[in-house]
Structures are given as structure tokens and as C-alpha cells.
Amino acid sequence: MMDELLTPAEMSEADRLAIAGGPSNGYGLMCRAGAAIAAAILARYPASRHFHVLCGPGNNGGDGLVVARLLADAGCPVTAYQDDSPRPGTDAAMALAALELRTRPLEVFYAGGDDLVVDAMFGAGLTRPLQGNFARAVERANASGAAVLAVDLPSGLSGDSGQVLGGIAIRADMTVTFFRRKPGHLLLPGRSLCGETVVADIGIADEALTTIGPKLWQNNPRLWQMHLPRPTENGHKYSRGHVASFSGGPSATGAARLAAMAAARAGAGAVTVVSPGSAMSVNAAHLTAIMLRRADRVDELADFVNSRKVAGAVIGPGFGVGEHCRNFVSALNRLRGEEVLGLVLDADALTSFEEEPEALFALLAKGTSSVQPAVLTPHEGEFGRLFPDLAGAMRSKVERAREAASRCTSVVILKGPDTVVASPDDRAVINAHASPYLATAGSGDVLAGLVAGFLAQGMPSFEAACAAVWIHGDCSLRFGPGLTADDLPGLIPTTLRQLVGT
């Protein structure tokens, strides 16, 4: 499985283990890395007019020096640029010694539109913003119109967070990294700076992963496909999971219906929109397969959940912010682990706790391991209301989601173009399988309903959340332009059929 993501620190541990286990030493790995890059260049950009290799002072630069040597050996017109020679005794110093070309200073670098620029300035070891000749070389490369291939990571980009340190980074057409992808290849803006990312095998054995024990993956069906619910031959509608989706008042009912339809398409055998009395007639006018039940008070809610075997609940979309919402959330949470298998809190159910997030965290911290964690589905705005100190881009989105999941003892789906799903047990995924056409009103309601549909069928919370995010994204990719949230539930069956069969 290639879905593990390694932080730069974990990658350097993988390098260390590979070197300790032999047969390659550090220079051997560097030569393999350089060979993989040169092969990619000759396969993709063989007709470039000139090959410019920008080298930094560390091992990323060392990879570049190997590339320059191999391109020259292949008869390509190549210039290598480097300001400071690598420290004596390092692998990069060996790469420089093996290069028969004389390197040129970075300040003379200039590329034309038909050239190829190989960015080997900085990779995993970037510690501070690019300045001086490095920053100017990045500007010239980005403005040149030449194709740009980045070694390991575009220079200026943090492999940990996907953030650009200091505002300037290489914009690559292709990035070749080694062994496994890094979070920065998938998190934004990193993903859009990498271009196509290719992972090269440089001879590091997969066993290194056993020692490192990474807990971050690229979201992919391989991680959760075996947990997807399948109906049993002798099942009935309630044994397939009954989901309750909670509606707001008469002018805010659509969101709960979108979530309800998504839960039904996820395979829940029965789905009920639970509505305040004031919105019963609006909801009734728009529902057919989905059932309808009135509940204005907590005792009515509890009565319904207990009598109708509700296994999953989604509350928040269009529900309304305030005390009534807090009361319903805490009533549902009391039932979580008893009647209700799974609870999804979205939108207003999160915002309602803006003034007292600790109260929500205390509610959700159910002690017994037999109770599935709740699933929270904030976008960045809602996330900032519950976790103000974790808002903003100062820390990696993965770290922020993980910290949030631990605080609220729940699975957190931190939505956006690079949605992160984090579990309180520290597992996390980054999702890159989605179309920007998902940025349309109501698509988050569909996602929340999908999660509830899977939870009601007994799927574990983390896997249910990851599956819902990927399937939601897959639907958007298949539909493309013109997508509205109303289209999404109807797209779910085709994706599901590919994952579970007929």
C-alpha cells in the first residue's frame, strides 16, 4: 500500500533505517534518487532546449548534482547552478566531486520557454523562508515559461504543512518524491504547487514503515472498503439502520432533507426527517421515501428514538443556533451508545456551542470504548468557533484536526479543498479526491447525511467519515460542471456499486 504519508522527520527516519539496513549508504540512496529524477526527465521532457539544474547546499542539492551528471552523460545540454558548495564529507559533496561540469552561481540562471528547470534547491530540510539568490532564482524560474520539475518538494514549500514559508515557492509542473508522499504534497497550497506528483522507488524497504508506524494516509478506498456495509439476505429495513435527520423551522428545512436523502442512498434502511411542528407541512410536501416525525421537545425526541430504533442521527444543517439546538444535541448524545449508534454534528449544532465549546467537549467525552466516537463536520469557519486557538494557517491542517479530535473525543472532518479526517486515536487522512464544484450550497449537508447513513449501519466512525468524504468527492468528480447539492445523493449509488458490487 502506497497510501501512507510521511512527515519530513519520518522520511529522514526511513532514510536512516534504509542506510543502517544496507546495502545502500547515503550516497547510494542519493544516486538512486538522482537516477529516478533523470529517468523522469528523459521520459517526459526529452526535447527541452536546455536543462537548468538549480542546486541548494544540502542533500536536495546533492540529488540535483547527480541529475546534472546523468543528464550530461546522456548528452543533454545542461547547466548546474550552486552558490555554496556542500559541506565537506557529506553525500552532496561526493555528488559534486563526481560532476565533471563546473557549477555556475545562481545569479546567472536564466531559462527560456523551451527549457527545463530542475528545482533541487530545498526539499525536506527547508527551515526558513527563501531569501536572496534562492528567492530570485524561484522568481525567474516561475516567470520563465519553462517546464519545472521539483526534486522531492518545490523549494519554499513545507513538506509538513503544505504552506509556503515566507510567501515564495517554486511552481512545478511535476514533482518527483521518494518512497512515500509527504503531507505537503496533498495539503493546499502545496498540492497546487507540485503539479503532478510521482513517487519514485529508491530502494527503501517497506519494512521501515513498521518501525516508523505512520498514522497519516491519503484517503483511498483501500483504507475502509472492507468496512462498507452490505445488506444481509434476511435483513429488514430497521436492521439496515434507521437514521434521523433533524429539520429547522419552516424556512430552513431543505438541509435536513438533503442529509436525509444522502443517508438513505448510503444504505440506511429507513430515514426520518424529525421536524418541529411549525415545519411539518413544508417537509411533508417534499418527502416521499423519507418518513416524517414531529418533535418540538426533548422528551418527544427521546420517545421517538427509543420507540423507532434510531441508529444514526444527524443534527445541525439548517437547524438553528441556540439553546434548543444545544438541548437536542445533549439529548442525542445521552442516547449515543444506547439506542443511537452514531451521531453526526454539523453546522448549527457546532455553532450553538461557540460560547462554551468546553461544554460540548465534556458531553462528547463518553468513557466506554464500546461507544463509537461522534463525528463533527466543521468547515474552517465552524472549526474556528469551537477551536479558536487552532484556527488559521499557523499550524498544519493535519495537526489542527488531530488536536481538535483529541479535545472533543470525536472524529473531526475538517472540510475544504484538502479535507482532513482525524480520529481521537491519532489516525488521520488527507482527501485529494474531490472536485472544486463541491463548493456549492448544501453539499456539506449531503456529506453529513452520508456519514450518518454509514454509522447507522454499524460502520466504525473513522472509516465511515473517510468513506463518506471520498464517495462525496467521487460523485463530484463524476458530475463536474453544473453540480448542485440536489444532484449529489443520486450520484452515490454508482460510486457505491463500484466499491461493494451489486
Ligand X SMILES: NC(=O)C1=CN([C@@H]2O[C@H](COP(=O)(O)OP(=O)(O)OC[C@H]3O[C@@H](n4cnc5c(N)ncnc54)[C@H](OP(=O)(O)O)[C@@H]3O)[C@@H](O)[C@H]2O)[C@@H](O)CC1
Ligand Y SMILES: Nc1ncnc2c1ncn2[C@@H]1O[C@H](COP(=O)(O)OP(=O)(O)O)[C@@H](O)[C@H]1O
| DSSP of 223-253 | GTGGGS----TT--TTTT-EEEEE--STTS-
CB nearer ligand X, residue 6 or residue 130: 130
Q: Is 184 marked as a binding-site residue?
A: no
| Distances in whole angstroms, Cα of residue 327 to Cα of each of 302, 315, 322, 330 | 12, 12, 9, 5
Distance set, CA 195 to CA 63, 157, 179, 185, 188 (Å): 20, 13, 18, 9, 12
Size of the site for ligand Y (CB under 6 A): 17
Q: Minimum distance between the CB of residue 56 and K ion, rounded to whole angstroms?
A: 7
In the DSSP assignment, the letter for residue 166 is G
Q: How many CB atoms lie within 10 A of CB 488?
A: 27
Q: Is 444 in the site for ligand Y (CB under 6 A)?
A: yes
Site string for K ion, 97-126 (x = CB under 5 A): ----------------------x---x---
Pick from K ion, ligand X, ligand Y, none: which does 119 bind, CB < 5 to 8 A by kind? Answer: K ion
Q: Do 207 and 225 form a contact (C-beta atoms < 8 A)?
A: no
12 vs 85, beta carbon nearer ligand X: 12
- Say which entry of K ion, ligand X, ligand Y, none residue 460 contacts (CB below 5 to 8 A, set by partner kind): none
Q: Indicate the pairing of strand 411-414 with strand 420-422.
A: antiparallel
Q: Of these partners, K ion, ligand Y, ligand X, none, which one is at the site of residue 155 (CB under 5 to 8 Å by kind)?
A: K ion
DSSP structure class, residue 207: T
CA distances from 322 to 80, 294, 295, 327 (A): 63, 19, 17, 9
Q: Are 229 and 468 in contact (CB under 8 A)?
A: no
**CB neighbour list of residue 261: distance below 8 Å, 6 or more residues apart:** 271, 290, 446, 449, 489
C-beta of 202 vs 223, nearer to ligand X:
202
The residue among 240 and 415 lying less far from ligand Y, judged by its C-beta, is 415
Based on the number of CB atoms within 10 Å of its own CB, is 250 exposed (0-12), middle (13-18) or buried (19 or more)?
middle
Smallest gap from Cβ 405 to K ion, in A, equals 32
From ligand Y, ligand X, K ion, none, interface partner of 447 (C-beta below 5 to 8 A by class): ligand Y
End-to-end CA distance of the chain: 26
Residue 209 binding target from ligand X, K ion, ligand Y, none, CB below 5 to 8 Å by type: none
CB atoms within 10 A of CB 354: 14
Please report whether residue 229 would count as binding ligand Y according to CB under 6 A.
no
Q: Which of these, 147, 20, 118, lies nearest to 60 by C-alpha position?
A: 118
Q: Binding of ligand Y at residue 399 (CB under 6 A)?
A: no
Mark residues 336-375: x for contact with ligand Y by CB under 6 A, - for none: -----------x----------------------------
Return the number of the residue (95 or 469) whose C-beta is nearest ligand X: 95
Using rule CB under 5 A, residue 141 touches K ion: no
Q: Is 155 annotated as a binding residue?
A: yes
CB 105 within 8 A of CB 55: no
| Residue 441 is a binding residue for ligand Y (CB under 6 A) | yes
Rounded to a whole number of angstroms, the minimum distance from the CB of residue 337 to ligand X is 46
Residues 173-202 that bind K ion (CB under 5 A): none
Q: Is 191 in the site for ligand Y (CB under 6 A)?
A: no
We find the least distance from the C-beta atom of residue 339 to K ion, in angstroms, to be 54
Residue 269 or 416: which CB sits closer to ligand Y?
A: 416
Binding status of residue 484 toward ligand Y by CB under 6 A: no
- In the list 60, 443, 457, 495, the residue contacting ligand Y (rule: CB under 6 A) is 443
155 makes contact with K ion (CB under 5 A): yes
CA distance 182 to 4: 9
Report the Cα 311 to chain-centroid distance in Å.
28
d(CA 385, CA 96): 52
Residue of 71, 447, 452, 483 that binds ligand Y (CB under 6 A): 447
Nearest to 269 by CA among 306, 232, 318: 232
Interface with K ion (CB under 5 A): 119, 123, 150-151, 155
Binding residue positions for AMP? 415-419, 444
Annotated binding site: 59-63, 119, 123-129, 152, 155, 255, 318, 379, 415-419, 444-445
> What residues make contact with ligand Y under the rule CB under 6 A?
347, 379, 415-417, 419, 434, 436, 438-439, 441-445, 447, 472
